[in-house]
Amino acid sequence: MRPAWGDLERPGRAPQVWQRSQQAFHSSVVGPHFEQMCRQWARWHAGPLLAIGEAKWQERVTTSHLTRLEHIRDLLWAKGQPGSESARMFLFSGTGFSDALVKQAAANPSIQLIGLNRLYYGS
């Protein structure tokens, strides 16, 4: 906030400062905090021994994110990493999931979608 202090000291400038600073706040503060919460959730609530995950705070998670995780899993399997053939894919989102991804996850238990409710209240 140091670069904005001068503006913050002037009455009525806070909304303008917030408008300029909001993107940096979300990417530098909220995003990393969300990712840490996702790691903690996986540690305490996830059962699989090996999982590959993606966490997006301000982005709707879609099948393209799943495709990327499946590719990573396939590379691990090709390298002979133990457990990679059965690795689960955890997709965390602060804003939700595409309908196509929800449909895929419903048909495949190795795909786990973790939204805010599940993140805050457990599995």
User: Alpha carbon of 89 to those of 2, 33, 49, 101: distances in Å?
Assistant: 40, 21, 12, 12
Render the burial of 93-123: b for 16+ CB within 10 Å, e for the rest. Answer: bbeebbeebeeebeeeeebbbbeeeebeeee
Specify whether the CB–CB gap between 50 and 83 falls below 8 A. yes
Q: What is the pLDDT of residue 46?
A: 62
pLDDT tier for residue 122 given thresholds of 50, 70 and 90: confident
For 1-57, how does the pLDDT look when each residue is reduced to its tens digit (9 = 90+)? Answer: 667 767 777 788 788 878 888 788 877 888 888 888 878 877 777 657 578 899 998
Domain limits, the chain: 23-121
For 56-108, how does the pLDDT look when each residue is reduced to its tens digit (9 = 90+)? Answer: 988 999 999 999 999 999 998 899 888 888 889 999 999 999 999 999 999 99
Task: Return left, alpha or beta for 53; rule: phi > 0 is left, psi -120 to 50 is alpha, else beta.
Answer: beta
The structure's pTM equals: 0.70
Q: Where are the beta strands (DSSP E) in the chain?
A: 51-56, 88-93, 111-114
